[in-house]
Amino acid sequence: MRITMAVNGTRGDIQPAVILAGALAARGHDVRVGVPPNLIGLAAHLGVPARAFGYDTRAHLEEVRRVRNEAGRNPLRRVQAVAAVNRTGWSDSVDDLADLTAGADAIITGFTTEAIALPFAEALRIPLISLHHAPVRANARVGPLPQLPGALGGPLVPAQWAAAEQLMRLATRGQEAALRARLGVRPAGAPLAGLIAGNAGIEIQAYDPMFAITGDSRWDASPRPRPVVGFIDLAVRHSGPDPALDAWLEAGGPPVYFGFGSMPIRDSQSTVSAMVRAARRIGRRALICAGWSGPPENVPSGADVYFAETVDHHSVLSRCAAAVHHGGAGTTAAALRHGVPSVVCWFGADQPFWGAQLRRVGAGMSMPVRKLTVDALESALRAIDTDVSRRRASNAARALVGPDEALAEAVAAVETVTGRSADRVREVAR
């Protein structure tokens, strides 16, 4: 079976997809993988060869931040500016996907690239398999913008979905119409979710069943299966040992881990200062992962502070007392797996949802990153740096679907929808 895996986004989007691609290849499938050019190295590190698909996502996030700042507080100007930036990568993604999908029997993609991938699936008459890291289809429990008031279970959630789907259609209809004309497929006569419903694929929910949408008539009415497989991540550490970090961790008590991954921090100097001061106030050391923001010019000094560009969550989080992060699905899963309570300082997208879910299971607190101050962070850390929070986080960890089981379920779901088992693939190859 020839499968195209084309996913755009940040590390939290790419890593689970690449892990799934590697597992499918190990089962005998011919898997072509496309990831952002800045994350090809990550795929190679995970043992999966990949080609460039779309734009450099790190540069894209920096550009989005720049145009938002230039647009000021005017919401219309901000939307227009960000829409213009988003259009710049469309043509590159289309050209790359045309090459990646040649001869494909199925396409696997993420939420942000479904509008590009669906016309290709229609033209080739093959299944489109979506990989979702949070509930991103209409339901009555979680709105499309979880940071809005009432978007987490409020009465306006259905209306928010209707509005979001129409706005998305308006934002992309010109590009989508040109792509559909180029491929010779039907014009888009409905919002994207409605069009996808007509494709014989599935929507893999790559998060744990304890966070799944249940008992919701709108969600359950989908004609496409939505298997909830669990968090797709690594069962073992994926980077080599860091002797300096290991020595620092051994030299004192469990620290607070701080890391916002790929999220660009507006003022890294003041944010890092707040992290260190809050940790010191509660008597903890600070392990700070700079991520894509990089370290500030003036790094706070002290034996109780350690800076790293990246860390291996699998080997580090289990040695921490608490974690402060942006609430991406990957980091949330890592903190949960190691029974570490979290403070989610969210930026947007699905991050407020994950902050709310950690609070719901008693394993964390949540607040927007714009409200991150020394006092607010100290208060949140004191609330979760307790035996009660750690016990609840440990209980959640024990209840999670294991990474190996989640990956096996995802592979089975892909093989089921393609209609041919890996055994049959090997027979044909022989």
Mean pLDDT, residues 3-20 taken together: 94
Q: Compute the C-alpha angle 357/194/60, nearest 5°.
A: 60
Mean pLDDT, residues 195-212 taken together: 95
pLDDT at 153: 73
d(CA 21, CA 5): 7
Residue tagged 């960890």 (tokens): 397
Pairing assessment for the beta strands 305-308 and 322-325 based on DSSP bridges? unpaired
Mean pLDDT, residues 394-408 taken together: 96
Closest by CA to 204, choosing from 2, 361, 17, 19, is 17
pLDDT at 209: 97
Task: Please give the domain boundaries of the chain with CATH numbers for all domains.
Answer: 2-54+89-234+402-429 (3.40.50.2000), 243-399 (3.40.50.2000)
* Whether the predicted pLDDT of 404 surpasses 80: yes
pLDDT at 347: 86
Helices (H), ranges, 101-146: 114-124
pLDDT at 152: 72
Mean pLDDT, residues 195-222 taken together: 93
Which of 210-219, 284-293, 342-351, 407-416 has the largest mean confidence? 407-416
Confidence grade of residue 246 (pLDDT, cut at 50, 70, 90): very high
For a pLDDT cut of 90, what percent of the chain falls above it? Answer: 61
Please give the model's pTM, rounded to 2 decimal places.
0.89
Pairing assessment for the beta strands 128-132 and 203-205 based on DSSP bridges? parallel
* Whether the predicted pLDDT of 104 surpasses 70: yes
pLDDT tens, 180-200?
A: 999 999 998 888 888 999 899
Contact present, 10 and 401 (Cβ < 8 Å): no
Closest by CA to 48, choosing from 27, 28, 34, 37, is 34
Long-range contacts of residues 140-148, Cβ cutoff 8 Å, at least 24 apart: 140/216, 140/217, 140/218, 140/219, 141/213, 141/216, 142/213, 142/353, 145/348, 146/350, 146/351, 146/352, 146/353, 146/356, 147/346, 147/348, 147/352, 147/368
d(CA 227, CA 209): 9
More confident residue, 208 or 236: 208
Confidence grade of residue 430 (pLDDT, cut at 50, 70, 90): very low
pLDDT tens, 21-67?
A: 999 999 999 999 999 999 999 999 999 999 999 988 887 777 766 76
More confident residue, 419 or 117: 117
Q: HSE on the CB side for 134, CA within 13 Å?
A: 27
Confidence grade of residue 71 (pLDDT, cut at 50, 70, 90): low
* Whether the predicted pLDDT of 151 surpasses 60: yes
* Whether the predicted pLDDT of 76 surpasses 90: no
Which strands sit side by side in the sheet containing 106-110, from one edge to the other? Answer: 51-52, 30-35, 2-6, 106-110, 128-132, 203-205
Confidence grade of residue 275 (pLDDT, cut at 50, 70, 90): very high
Helices (H), ranges, 57-213: 57-71, 75-88, 90-100, 114-124, 157-183, 192-196
Q: How many C-beta atoms surround the C-beta of residue 76 within 10 A? A: 8
Mean pLDDT, residues 211-234 taken together: 92
More confident residue, 35 or 73: 35
pLDDT at 86: 58
In eight-state DSSP terms, residue 258 is E
Residues 6+ apart with CB under 8 A from 203: 129, 130, 132, 137, 196, 222, 224, 225, 226
Pairing assessment for the beta strands 256-259 and 322-325 based on DSSP bridges? parallel
pLDDT tens, 300-354?
A: 778 899 988 888 888 899 999 999 999 999 999 999 999 999 999 998 888 999 9
